[in-house]
Amino acid sequence: MADATALPRARGPRSLNLRLWLPAAWLSLLALAALLAPFIAPHDPLAQDLLMERLPPFFMAGSEPGYWLGTDSLGRDVLSRMIYGARVALFVALIAATITCLFGSTLGLLAGYYGGWWDRVISRLVEIWMAFPPVLFAVLLVAVMGTGLFSVIAAIALIDWTRFARVIRAETMVQARMDYVDSARIGGANRLTTLAGEILPNVLPSIVALLMLEMGIAVIVEAILSFVNLSISTDDPTWGSMIAEGRGAIHFAWWVLLFPLIALFLTVLSFSTLGEGLKQRFDPVLQ
Amino acid sequence: MTMMEPLAAMTTETQPALFSVRDLRLSFPDMAHKPLFGAAPRIEVLKGISFDIPTGQITGIVGESGSGKSTAGRVLVRLLEPDAGEVLLDGRDIAHLGEEEITPLRRDLQMIFQDPMSSLNPRHTVGHIIATPMKRYGRGGTREDAAAALVKVGLPAEFVSRYPHQLSGGQRQRVGIARAIALEPRFILADEIVSGLDVSSQAQVLELLKTLAQDMGITVAFISHDLSVIRHLCDHVIVLDHGEIVEQGPVQAVFDHPQSEITRTLLAAIPRPELDDSWFD
């Protein structure tokens, strides 16, 4: 009897690892910075010093030692504000994306597996929901609920659960047609056990990839809302509010806007790349 | 497949049939022709068929694709509920039993699927796949029990920790058999179980199924489109065409004196092993 050993790898181990480790490294760095912000930030992110306003970053002429990435128009340290901004970004990403994922994926699994009325009700709800323009919806929600971190989180969860519901429903429907589902029923499993024990493990990689993507989206939505001053109070530094404040001075103090923008870009990119990388990692067939 | 001699058809039955199916009807909604509003038209897949599955024997269900043979099989193990008709198991009608009533009966009504890649969950180990149903029915379900079931189907015990994609097609189908027999069922539905395998694996898997069925006294319904396989394996045969039974009886009788055009066509489709001069041109 021929013995089948491991299948040929679809991707070289090197490129797979880089896709996984580069974003993971950036996000761990960010998480560490956010956790240890009071200890590692060189300055108080709120301390104003009008004598030190618009200092350029360290590699340019006229920079001051200690102010690595320069200061903004009120003389606040850009690096310190970015480090504290990471706290808000990561907190929103983690909490909002997790809530969104749990809610949306559960509805997607139920609609995809049970079909019938479950599917009809949930699918119609998703269609109606998606007819609202999302950013407008978020602004509206925060305006109604009042500004603040928890309004931002609630807004993200209320808007974006449809992404999970749609994708996970489609994925579940594909899996539900596989013979292993019938096979579990033949083996005495009831419907809920079949869904949780057989289908869910096969849908999980997609859920994880989407969760990572959603974290990136949550970071963007938070930035958008703080850009229009609808996130947490203006005193607290966030990447979005830094970008908004730096906009006016872009011609002569570009660093105020550029560094938080780069952090935002790298974070969103890292989340989506990590999601894809993890999806492949999870797949026993691709291993 | 020369190792298997044709069985003499057993015509003297004393035991009552395990299954008695009477006037079975089943239809599916035709979603391709569903009007925008209102119900979809129905396609009749089984048009009132009646047959028996004799206890302790292997019954072949044969027909071209779309003849309803898989559908009929799935009604027997109640993965499908028929529209009308009776499915008598030991004289008890199971055609419309609900979830709670059918689940205890499932231990006796097992199934082996056509495509083991699809029927073995890629996320579970072989051990988990075999042991989980055993646990549900209180028939052990330890790692050792799963290993014992693997040995019974001729696979090494250490396969318990392997994943389905690490096995070959023939090995996977043996795992499918191991899972079914581990519950010591009274009936196994084998749905085209060798059609995805190469010829030598086919012969081994068929031989294994036959031996196990005889040793454990399991009644088997064997679905196939391949009459040569049916002839070697089965005692009885039911020929289906477009949802109707065109012929049924002991294998020997049906093969020697086919009554219907469909059976003759299927028989003519069996490849002959004889060499022909034209092969060498």
Checking if the pLDDT of A4 tops 80, the result is no
Question: Cβ(B278)–Cβ(B34) under 8 Å?
Answer: no
In degrees rounded to 5, what are phi and psi of residue B195? -70, -20
Nearest to A4 by CA among B171, B269, B59: B171
Instruction: Look at A202 and B120 and tell me if their CB atoms are within 8 Å.
Output: no
Backbone angles phi, psi at A198, to 5 degrees: -110, -50
Region A9-20: what's the mean pLDDT? 61
- Taking contacts as CB-CB distances below 8 angstroms, the residues of chain A near B187 are none
DSSP tag of B24 = E
Nearest to B136 among A3, A7, A189 (CB): A189
For A69-282, the fitting CATH number among 3.40.190.10, 3.20.20.70, 1.10.3720.10, 1.10.1740.10 is: 1.10.3720.10
Return phi, psi of residue A189, to 5°: -80, 140
Residue from B180, B191, B186 nearest B226 by CA: B191
Separation between Cα atoms, residue B122 and residue A58, nearest integer Å:
54
| pLDDT tens, residue by residue, A131-180 | 988 878 888 888 888 888 888 899 999 999 999 999 999 999 999 999 99
Q: Name which of B77, B106, B122 is nearest A285 (Cβ-Cβ).
A: B122
The predicted model gives A19-40 an average pLDDT of: 92
Please name the residue of chain A whose CA is at the shortest distance from the CA of residue B130. A187
Q: Which residue of B has its CA nearest to A201?
A: B123
* Residue A9 in this model has a pLDDT that exceeds 50: no
Amino acid identity at A4? A
For chain B, the structural domain boundaries read: 18-116+187-270
DSSP tag of A176: H
Q: What is the phi/psi pair of residue B62, to 5°?
A: -130, 150
Alpha-carbon gap, residue B110 to B14, rounded angstroms: 24
Mean pLDDT of A274-281: 85
Q: What are the chain A neighbours of B132 within 8 Å (beta carbons)?
A: 187, 189, 197
CATH architecture of B18-116+187-270: 3-Layer(aba) Sandwich (3.40)
- Estimate the crossing angle of helix A149-176 against helix A200-227, to 10 degrees: 150
Rounded CA separation A202/A211 (Å): 15
Instruction: Note whether B112 and B177 are within 8 A (CB).
Output: yes
* pLDDT at residue B209, as a whole number: 94
Q: Can you give the pTM of this predicted structure? A: 0.83
The alpha-carbon radius of gyration of chain A (Å, integer) is 23
- pLDDT value for B278: 64
Give the tens place of pLDDT for each residue, A91-133.
Answer: 999 999 999 999 999 999 999 999 999 999 999 999 999 998 8
Please check whether residue A5 touches B, CB under 8 A. Answer: yes
A284 pLDDT more than 70: no
Query: B130 by DSSP, 3-state: which?
Result: helix
- B119 in contact with A at a CB cutoff of 8 Å? yes
Of A43, A34, A75, the residue nearest A56 (C-alpha)? A75
CB A197 within 8 A of CB A261: no
Nearest CB partner across the interface for A198, out of B106, B110, B121 = B121
Specify the pLDDT at position B151: 95
- Per-residue confidence band for A278, with pLDDT thresholds at 50, 70 and 90: confident
Predicted local distance difference test score (pLDDT) of residue A133: 87
pLDDT in tens, chain B (281 residues): 444 444 444 444 467 889 999 999 999 988 888 888 888 888 999 999 999 999 999 999 998 888 999 999 999 999 999 999 999 999 899 999 988 899 999 999 999 999 988 999 999 999 999 999 999 998 888 999 999 999 999 999 999 999 999 999 999 999 999 999 999 999 999 999 988 888 888 889 999 999 999 999 999 999 998 888 898 899 999 999 999 999 999 999 988 888 888 888 888 877 766 556 665 66
More confident residue, A73 or A81: A81
Tell me the C-alpha distance between B82 and B48, whole Å: 10
What's the length of chain A? 287
Q: Can you tell me the distance from the alpha carbon of B227 to that of B181, in angstroms, rounded to the nearest whole number?
A: 25
Is the pLDDT at A219 greater than 80, yes or no? yes
Residue A61, pLDDT score: 83
* Segment holding B18, helix H or strand E: strand B17-29
pLDDT score for A10: 47
CA dist B120 and B166 (Å) reads 12
Partner-chain residue, chosen from B79, B106, B118, that has the shortest CB–CB distance to A188: B106
Beta-carbon contacts of B203 under 8 Å, excluding residues fewer than 6 positions away, are: B1, B3, B4
